[in-house]
């Protein structure tokens, strides 16, 4: 649902939210890796969040996921963390650090997290001296995401469209749309807590 705009998060808060999401996306993707190869990486995520000063933006359930031992995430949480890369893409775009692909192209996790220096202390520069696109541009993005979101819902409700697209392709498009909608709504103050953004239609 496209909410009336509330009090938008500050540029600093957007940067902190991006740091949190980048760590969570990383945590989601390494869940399926060899524990012996990525345990050091997993253990470094929360200390990095602290170093860049983003801990206050982290919600409790995110802290639980980030600090869970490898193999300790339930399957749905792991999937949700991986898809959060699409939300992260919108935030990093809003920070003037990334050019978004079209709405049907998957974001590339490593490319996006590199843009904000995941696991490097230099990432603190983005928190201390944040950039943020103008509200008009953010509204245009939100309206575009909302339009795509509505289109996909209408498409799915028409049985005649069942043979026009594979289930996998539709799932990918719907997941991209959902996460971009969540981020674009939050950027305009639809909810204080990121997890409480309403993306229903």
- Summarize pLDDT for 114-154 with one digit per residue, the tens: 999 999 999 999 999 999 999 999 999 999 998 987 888 77
Task: Report, as an integer, the average pLDDT of 71-98.
Answer: 96
**Sign of CA pseudo-dihedral 80, 82, 86, 90:** positive
Distance of CA 26 to the CA centre of its chain: 11
Tokens, residue 180: 């971009």
Question: CA angle, 126 as apex, 122 and 130 as ends, to 5°?
Answer: 160
Q: What is the pLDDT of residue 3?
A: 52
Per-domain residue ranges for the chain?
A: 11-196
pLDDT of residue 174: 87
Is 190 in a helix, a strand, or coil? coil
Interval 91-107 mean pLDDT: 91
Stated length of the chain:
201
Q: For residue 29, what pLDDT band results from cuts at 50, 70 and 90?
A: very high
Instruction: Please state, in angstroms and rounded to a whole number, the distance separating the CA atoms of residues 170 and 167.
Output: 5
Number of other CB atoms surrounding residue 147 within 10 Å: 13
Residue 156 clears pLDDT 80, i.e. is over it = no
Q: What is this structure's pTM? A: 0.91
């Amino acid at each position: 649902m496209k909410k009336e705009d509330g009090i938008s998060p500050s540029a600093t808060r957007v940067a902190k939210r991006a740091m949190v999401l980048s760590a969570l996306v990383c945590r989601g993707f390494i869940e399926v890796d060899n524990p012996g190869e990525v345990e050091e990486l997993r253990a470094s995520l929360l200390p990095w969040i602290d170093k860049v000063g983003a801990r206050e933006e982290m919600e409790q359930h995110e802290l639980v996921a980030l600090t869970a031992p490898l193999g300790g995430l339930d399957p749905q949480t792991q999937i949700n963390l991986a898809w959060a890369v699409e939300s992260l893409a919108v935030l990093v775009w809003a920070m003037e650090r990334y050019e978004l692909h079209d709405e049907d192209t998957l974001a590339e996790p490593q490319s996006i997290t590199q843009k904000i220096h995941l696991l490097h202390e230099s990432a603190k520069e983005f928190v201390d001296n944040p950039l943020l696109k103008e509200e008009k541009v953010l509204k245009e993005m939100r309206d575009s995401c909302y339009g795509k979101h509505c289109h996909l819902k209408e498409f799915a409700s028409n049985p005649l469209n069942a043979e026009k697209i594979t289930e996998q392709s539709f799932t990918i498009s719907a997941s991209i749309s959902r996460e971009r909608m969540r981020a674009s709504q939050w950027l305009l103050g639809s909810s204080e807590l990121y997890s409480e953004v309403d993306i229903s239609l």
